[in-house]
Amino acid sequence: MRRLTLVVVGVGAVVGTAAMPPRTARAQEKTNAGLRLSVVGIAVKDYPKSQNFYEKIMGFPVAFTFSTPDGSRTTTYYQTSRDTFLEMQAAFGDVQPGVTHAHLLTDDLSGTIARLRQAGLPAATGTTPMPKTIGTTISVSGGSHVKNVNVFDPDGLRLELNEYLPDSLTTKASKSWDARRPSLTLSVFGIAVKNYPESQTFYEKTMGFRVAFTFPNAAGQVVNTYYQEGRDSFMEMQLPAANGHPGFTHAHLVTNDLAGTIARLRQAGLAAATPGAPQMPGTIGEKINVSPGAKTKNVNVVDPDGIRLELNEYDGDSLPKKAIDTWK
């Protein structure tokens, strides 16, 4: 994100104008939440079809898999870079296909929980997840074997806080990563929120995320806020689109060579989107764009369930790159 005129954006700034330029926060003056994006979870309708898409077309290696005790559901972890993963499960029950949650990694889960409780995040009560609460006990997942606890934001969106154990499957996958592989590093997860000021308070005051930068949407009326949880990872927050609902909206994957990545995906069979028409599942955008807000080169890939993966390349003017460079 950037290093120019640095402006701290306070809680409650929700309305912008089309002429309002992007603004950045002084990263060095904000606290460090000590969290970084490690996993984005998705639910899919047709598991074999999505396996083919992510393995054969996107080229993501399978880091590991595990199943429920009764063997009825399988979870696949795809490795997008040395330290980032896509977690895929079949949609079931009332879980619809789409982005379901995000994992944020900490080196000290107990300390992070204590900090969040001190910031006013109450412990969950009962068995039904409640907004603006944190789980009461640290668990160790039976699948990936990581220490974890769930936080639920004002809209009930689930953020799973993780700490890796030495024998965590994610730790083992990171250690065995082949640096020669092409990578698409998870860098951003997007959310839409119902009450912007309430969510600003939650993410800034309670979670302690830094405001990296803000910019207005195309209509010039709603501010997009990029929060920086760790040096290289962000959360993009905005209001829902017309007729939309609060929830997880998309994920960004960063590459050092966007044109080369597009060529590789096209060669693997990913069809180009039809110009001038809504982008269809299983396609990639027909051309590279430059975001007027974040100023990143980007193109959208839409998976078989319509999940949007925004492929990004950062250059010197990209606001995420400037935020990374000024991180302390």
Going by pLDDT thresholds of 50, 70 and 90, the confidence category of residue 72 is confident
How confident is the model over 90-122, as pLDDT tens digits? 998 888 999 999 999 999 999 999 999 999 999
Going by pLDDT thresholds of 50, 70 and 90, the confidence category of residue 140 is very high
Single-letter amino acid, residue 79: Q
Residue 185 has pLDDT above 50, yes or no: yes
And the tokens for 315? 């250059």
* Mean pLDDT on 269-281: 95
Number of H helices, E strands in the chain: 6, 20
Whole-prediction pTM value?
Answer: 0.89
Residue 222 has pLDDT above 80, yes or no: no
Nearest one of 21, 126, 144, 145 to 79, comparing CA atoms = 144
Fold assignment, 36-175: 2,3-Dihydroxybiphenyl 1,2-Dioxygenase; domain 1 (3.10.180)
Residue 224 has pLDDT above 60, yes or no: yes
For 221-267, the three-class secondary structure string (H helix, E strand, C coil) is CEEEEEEEEECCEEEEEECCCCCCCCEEEEEEEECCCHHHHHHHHHH
Of 20-34, 171-185, 285-299, the range with the lowest mean pLDDT is 20-34
Q: Which pLDDT value is given to residue 21?
A: 52
Topology agreement, domain 23-32+182-325 and domain 36-175: yes
| Residue boundaries of the structural domains of the chain | 23-32+182-325, 36-175
Q: What percent helix, strand, coil does the chain show, rounded to 5?
A: 20, 35, 45
**Cβ–Cβ < 8 Å for 298, 259:** no
Q: Which pLDDT value is given to residue 69?
A: 81
| Alpha helices in the chain, H assignment, sequence order | 47-52, 109-118, 169-175, 196-201, 258-267, 319-325
Fold assignment, 23-32+182-325: 2,3-Dihydroxybiphenyl 1,2-Dioxygenase; domain 1 (3.10.180)
The helix or strand, by DSSP H or E, that contains position 67, with its residue range, turns out to be strand 62-67
How confident is the model over 1-40, as pLDDT tens digits? 333 333 333 333 333 333 445 555 543 444 567 899 999 9
Give the position of tokens 């996958």: 173
